Amino acid sequence: MSAVDARAGARSADTVGAGDRPPPRRRRPRHLREYLLFLAFIVPNFFFVIVFAYWPVIYNAYLSLTSWNMLAPVKEFVGLTNYTDLLTDGDFLGTLRITVIFVLGIVLGSMVLGLAIAVLLNEKLIGRGFVRTMAFAPHILSGAAIGTIWLFIFDPNYGLLRPIFGVVGLASPNWMTSSKWALPGLIIVYLWKNMGFIATVYLAGLQNVPRDLYEAAAIDGSGPWHTFRKITFPMLSPVTFFLVITTTIGTFQAFDIIALMTGGGPGNSTTILSWFIYQQAFKAFDAGHAAAAAMLMFVVLIIITALQARFLERKVHYR
């Protein structure tokens, strides 16, 4: 390989300043063949990615500047009206508020639970491998199935939670039919779905913490909580940041469990941004407002991703 490169380099050096003399014949076709092969190999993938991921962004941005009911032949250009409509609309601001609660609740909750489980599973306990595997499983189950299971668990009369609440003498609330309990209920379901995945990633991180740090701490007489705060948690910070970002992005796009369990209700109590976009587009056929809301979501997610990039950069400098 390197010999070939060297020869190619020598050739190009030869041809420098050779005026318009044609370049050596025998090397060019080989490069050309490799370039063509490269293009042939990436074209299928790039075709689908461009048509179904990049083009939609442009199209969606355009739609967000129009007023269109998805049937009329003409899309009326309205400038930024859709955005100003949304940002002054009480319902939409309510949606944003619910989205923030939903995302914060799920991200913070599943991070804390996931880390706690990871610390526990990092101990040499009998059966921990089994628990780790089982805890991961919900991450790959269909959201529709998870939603259905929990709908029954939340059933106030015959669900699994009634006897559990009964232990402390409480009645299981009407989870999914009460606008007060539906959002916390959904958050619980997502915690259950996420925590095993987060625990698994944290576990890999924990096993990468150098052992001599713990030994040094032990010699210094540091207690478990102190060691965790001063050594374990700081050493895990890159993992924590990665998980916060990916969980946040994933949670913003939560959909299937909501579709099964609440459909955004009761009232608007569980209408998060992703559900709002779906409603506007495919129930209200209001393409403009749906597209504008989607653009807002995109911008928020880009900002969050950019934060991650900056953080990682700082991390590298720090090292």
140 binds another protein, rule: CB under 8 A:
yes
Q: What x/- string results for residues 207 through 246 when contact with another protein is judged by CB under 8 A?
A: -x--x--xx-xx---xxx--xx---------xx--xx--x
49 near another protein (CB under 8 A) = yes
Q: Which of residues 103-132 bind another protein (CB under 8 A)?
A: 117, 120-125, 127-128, 130-131
Binder among 260, 264, 271, 279 for another protein (CB under 8 A): 260
Question: In whole angstroms, how close is the CB of 304 to another protein at the nearest point?
Answer: 10
Should residue 35 be labelled a site residue for another protein when binding is judged by CB under 8 A?
yes
Residue in 78, 101, 149, 307 binding another protein, rule: CB under 8 A? 149
Counting contacts by CB under 8 A, is residue 267 touching another protein?
Answer: no
- Region near another protein per CB under 8 A, out of 11-19, 84-92, 101-109, 196-204: 196-204
Work out how close the CB of 16 gets to another protein at its nearest, in angstroms, rounded to a whole number.
18
Interacting span for another protein (CB under 8 A) from 20-28, 88-96, 100-108, 248-256: 248-256
Rule CB under 8 A: say whether 137 interacts with another protein: yes
Which of 13/126 has CB closer to another protein? 126
Which residue among 66, 95, 99, 200 contacts another protein (CB under 8 A)? 200
Using rule CB under 8 A, residue 169 touches another protein:
no
DSSP one-letter string for the chain: -HHHHHHHHHHHHHHTT-TTPPPPTTTHHHHHHHHHHHHHHHHHHHHHHIIIIIHHHHHHHHHTTEE--SSSS-PEE-TTHHHHHHHH-HHHHHHHHHHHHHHHHHHHHHHHHHHHHHHHHTS--TTHHHHHHHHHGGGGS-HHHHHHHHHHHT-TTTSTHHHHHHHTT-PPP-GGG-TTTHHHHHHHHHHHHHHHHHHHHHHHHHHTS-HHHHHHHHHTT--HHHHIIIIIHHHTHHHHHHHHHHHHHHHHT--HHHHHHTTT-STTTT--HHHHHHHHHHTS--HHHHHHHHHHHHHHHHHHHHHHHHHHHHHHHH-
Nearer to another protein, 19 or 40 (CB): 40
Give, as ranges, the residues between 52 and 81 that touch another protein (CB under 8 A): 52-57, 59-60, 63, 70
- C-beta separation of 202 from 116 below 8 A: no
Residue 182 binding another protein, by CB under 8 A: no
